[in-house]
Amino acid sequence: MKFKLFFLSSSVLGPIALFTTACSAVYRFDQVDDGKIKLATVTSASASGSLTTIISKYNSQKDPNDYPVELVSLDSRGSYSNGKKDLQAKLLAKDKNNFYNLTFNYSDVVSILSRSQMELSFDTVDTSNFDPSFLSFNNNISNVNPNSIYALPATVSGEVLVLNGPVLHYILSSAKKDSNTTLSTHSASNNSNKGTMVVASDSETSSLWTKLEAAAKMNAQTNETQVLKSNSSESNQTQASDTEIKKIWGDYQEVDGGLKNYTFKASVFNNWKDLNDFATRIAKSFTKLQTTTKKGEEVQAVFGIGSLENALYTALFASGKADYNNFLFNIKNQRINFSNFFNKSSTAFQNLKTIFNSFKSLIDQNGLISNAHFNTPVNDYAKFNQLAFYTSSTARFPYSFASDSVKRLIVNDKTIENKNNKSVFEVNLSSDSDNNSNLIGTVSLENSKQVSLYEKQVDSNKQIGVDALLIKDETLINHLKSLKSQVSAKSASETSQTKQNKTFLAFTTVNADQKAIFDVGKLNGKTAKIIINATETTNAKISTLQEKEAIVLKAPQRFESTDPFPIALVQGPSLIGIHANEREDIETKKFVNWYLNTKVQWEENSIKTPAEYVADKASYLLPFKNRLNNTNSYNEFVKTAVSQFADKNVTKFAEPADFLSNRVRDGVKSNLNAAINNHSIDFDSFINDLTDYLGSDVKNI
């Protein structure tokens, strides 16, 4: 659940708060029959492209009397929260003309719809392809019949734990005893601070170390400045990798409470408690991590968590013996129940305290970071060897590894990757010879397309958002004008690998601060920012994480090793129907039935259902029975998640769904992020802040 918005006050809550108080006055209504089925989406560009393809296929193959399907984009950035806000606004307005029939979103949307009796049951749709266990979350949605199906898990993702092989190899090599024969390699650059850590000799640990050595060796072989022949000794190759990692991580230090006299076992990655302890020990062992404020190119943390709320929820569910009665909240008699959260003696509350304090120890050592909303994801930091390991949604696979030569911008504490050299472009400063006093810069995009930057007024032969941008921010205008007439040239400190103190236009979702990163509107449909005083770096392979250098594990399945049941998180948007009118409801189900069950021929002569086609294109898992038993075509993230989903001994966890559950999730994420940024926040402060965030209406339920 990658993108969330935080709602901190009634003025910010907008449609959500209004819906909570006014929904009782919104009753079922019919939409105008406009002769088409509208599918609303906030998915990524890759997923939207595949949806466009399948809709075109349906419209070309359908019976002439069937309604065509149309794609409606609600938020191109992929914000499911924005999708919910749009849906709630249309419910409140009883919008009969601009509503839609289908949407991809999370299952709490079903609860939102049900409060206005606008949910659409899929009971007459053939759902037999699904593994039944993946449909059971419909039983845990408030305000609806628990025996019906309202949400179809057509775009499921799981969680994985990704080890940065070269980084972890350097850490362990630096900390281990010389006499330990399990790790037969030199330490990084003959580090004088040789450690006393012992590496266990069990088969799981030995197997992991073999993979770490292979990752370090592979990293060394990508070095373009040192030509390492294939017959070079393994110790020389792994040492070359360690030397490169040391540039970012610095020297290892033997300290009490760190890796000194620690016994490393691969099993630390199986549960949250041991993993947090291991990460805390690493953080104590490297002084570069002790700096609270870090620059964008420096080591950031030991452990990155893609979703703090997912981490806390799965740990809490596991510690509660996989029983929703021991979870933070649950659904009872089709209503949400928060009694566990407000009862400090409950099992859930006591477990929550233990789990929070486990993460708190790591936070206090500056060892933990998480995804910031629309800012640098943890995957991107790991990609540049700035993390040792991280948890990630399987849907992040396409964005998790570096290409051969990667460029990125460093601006203060933020980094912006130039993905495929198609998202960041240097701003060329105008000169007096341009004969237009309002022209303050130009940008050459890919394919040599020229975009002009203006203040005050755009030339009459230019179109804003197509080949021109009107700059309104005075700080940015003054910056560009101060550089006008200067000749763009490398400074004496620049090298062929860097451009310093430059100005760039970037297509990025990183938040603007109106100091160094400025919103400048849409350009050809994409959100554009201008970044000033930035450094552009080019990273060679050896300084980045390649796909084959990563070791992909299952996300921790327990909080403690003694928890009785292993847990696997099931998340991701579902396909949800919305009542329109009698004819459109029938046509909607007809399309959904085709989407799930009709085998269609696609490019490269592949034959699969439209649901399979979309899932494959967007790195989602489609939990059809036949696909859980065949993982050959999956990437490593999805393959790892599927392996635990297919394990009958693993209990699947899906968050209880209610129209208020998104507020709880956002509150947990917001306040855990606050604890990472402010070390004075302890458990009591966290609970008090979360309670205030949830509001009195939650407490009074």
CA distance 649 to 528: 48
Tell me how crowded residue 420 is: count the other CB atoms within 10 A of its CB. 10
Going from N- to C-terminal start, the domains of the chain cover 10-156+570-653, 159-399+545-569+660-701, 406-539
Q: Average pLDDT for residues 218-240, to the nearest whole number?
A: 64
Q: Would you state the structure tokens that stand for residue 167, as one six-digit string?
A: 């980084």
Q: Counting every residue, how long is the chain? A: 701
Burial environment of residue 561 by CB neighbours within 10 A (0 to 12, 13 to 18, 19 or more):
exposed
Burial environment of residue 336 by CB neighbours within 10 A (0 to 12, 13 to 18, 19 or more):
buried
Query: Most distant CA pair in the chain: distance in Å?
Result: 78
Residues 11-33: tens digit of each pLDDT:
334 444 444 444 445 789 999 99
Q: What percent of the chain has pLDDT over 90?
A: 69
SS3 344: coil
Give the pLDDT confidence score for residue 120 in this predicted structure: 98
Residue 700 has phi, psi (to 5 degrees) of -90, 0
Tell me how crowded residue 516 is: count the other CB atoms within 10 A of its CB. 18
Sequential DSSP letters for 631-645: -TTS-HHHHHHHHHH
Give the pLDDT confidence score for residue 180 in this predicted structure: 46
Q: Average pLDDT for residues 679-699, to the nearest whole number?
A: 93
Q: Has residue 229 got a pLDDT over 70?
A: no
Helices of type H across 151-231: 165-175, 203-221
User: How far is CA 478 from each of CA 280, 391, 515, rounded to the nearest angstrom?
Assistant: 45, 42, 12
Q: Which one, of 441, 446, 432, 509, lies nearest residue 469 by Cα? A: 441
Q: Has residue 486 got a pLDDT over 90?
A: no
CA distance 151 to 576: 5
User: How far is CA 490 from each of CA 280, 499, 500, rounded to the nearest angstrom?
Assistant: 42, 7, 8
Give the pLDDT confidence score for residue 222 in this predicted structure: 61
What is the pairing mode between strands 424-428 and 439-444? Answer: antiparallel
Least confidently predicted of 275-279, 337-341, 424-428: 424-428
User: Phi/psi zone of residue 387: left (φ > 0), alpha (ψ -120 to 50 degrees), beta?
Assistant: beta
Q: Has residue 489 got a pLDDT over 60?
A: no
CA distance 258 to 280: 7
Q: Average pLDDT for residues 157-177, to the nearest whole number?
A: 96
Least confidently predicted of 38-47, 139-148, 196-205, 652-661: 38-47
DSSP class of residue 435?
-
Identify the residue with better confidence: 61 or 420. 61
Residues with Cβ within 8 Å of 460's Cβ and at least 6 positions away in sequence, in order, are none
Identify the residue with better confidence: 185 or 277. 277
Identity of residue 616: D
Burial environment of residue 350 by CB neighbours within 10 A (0 to 12, 13 to 18, 19 or more):
middle
Residues 266-323: tens digit of each pLDDT:
999 999 999 999 999 999 999 999 888 888 889 999 999 999 999 999 999 999 999 9
CA distance 50 to 46: 7
Residues 318-337: tens digit of each pLDDT:
999 999 999 999 999 999 99
Sequential DSSP letters for 518-535: EEEEEETTEEEEEEEEEE
Give the pLDDT confidence score for residue 73 in this predicted structure: 87
Give the pLDDT confidence score for residue 2 in this predicted structure: 36
User: Phi/psi zone of residue 119: left (φ > 0), alpha (ψ -120 to 50 degrees), beta?
Assistant: beta
Q: Which one, of 118, 122, 98, lies nearest residue 579 by Cα? A: 118
Q: Average pLDDT for residues 243-265, to the nearest whole number?
A: 96
Which CATH superfamily groups domain 10-156+570-653?
Answer: Periplasmic binding protein-like II (3.40.190.10)
CA distance 246 to 486: 39
Give the pLDDT confidence score for residue 545 in this predicted structure: 94
Residues 513-554: tens digit of each pLDDT:
999 999 999 998 888 999 999 988 888 888 999 999 999 999
Per residue, the 3-state secondary structure of 456-485, as one string, reads CCCCCCCCECCCEEEECCHHHHHHHHHHCC
Average pLDDT of the residues of the chain: 88
Q: What percent of the chain has pLDDT over 70?
A: 87
Q: Has residue 680 got a pLDDT over 50?
A: yes
CA distance 484 to 487: 8
Q: Beta-strand (E) ranges in 279-412?
A: 303-305, 330-332, 335-337, 368-370, 389-393, 406-411
CA distance 216 to 21: 57
Consecutive H or E run containing 248: helix 234-249
Q: Which one, of 191, 247, 500, lies nearest residue 384 by Cα? A: 247
Q: Would you state the structure tokens that stand for residue 252, as one six-digit string?
A: 């290892």
Our measurement of the distance from residue 607's CA atom to the centroid of its chain's CA atoms, rounded to an integer in Å, reads 30
Q: Are 628 and 158 in contact (CB under 8 A)?
A: no
pTM of the model: 0.85
Please provide the distance, in angstroms rounded to a whole number, between the alpha carbons at the two ends of the chain: 26
Q: Has residue 119 got a pLDDT over 70?
A: yes
CA distance 655 to 366: 29
Q: Which one, of 395, 370, 234, lies nearest residue 304 by Cα? A: 370
Q: Average pLDDT for residues 462-466, to the nearest whole number?
A: 94
Identify the residue with better confidence: 2 or 635. 635
